[in-house]
Amino acid sequence: MMRKMPIIITGGAQRLGLACAKALLAEGYQVIITYRRMRDEITQLEAQGIACIQADFSTAAGVEAFISQIRNDYSALGGIVHNASEWDSEEEGEDTSLLMEKMWQVHVFAPYRINLAFEALLCAGAEHDGQADIIHMTDYVAEKGSDKHIAYAASKAGLANLTLSFAKRFAPRIKVNAIAPSLLIFNQHDDDEYRKKALNKSLLRKEPGEQEAVLAVQYILDSHYMTGRTLSLDGGRHLV
- Of residues 29, 112, 140, 152, which has the active-site annotation? 152
The overall longest dimension of the chain from CA atoms, in Å, is 51
Q: Which residues contact 126 (CB under 8 A, 6 or more apart)?
A: 132, 173, 174
C-alpha 10/C-alpha 21 separation (Å) is 10
Distance between alpha carbon 90 and the CA centroid of its chain, in Å? 23
Residue 194 catalytic?
A: no
C-alpha 100/C-alpha 16 separation (Å) is 24
Backbone angles phi, psi at 46, to 5 degrees: -65, -40
The candidate with the shortest Cα–Cα distance to 219, out of 208, 207, 209, 230, is: 230
What are the catalytic residues? Answer: 152
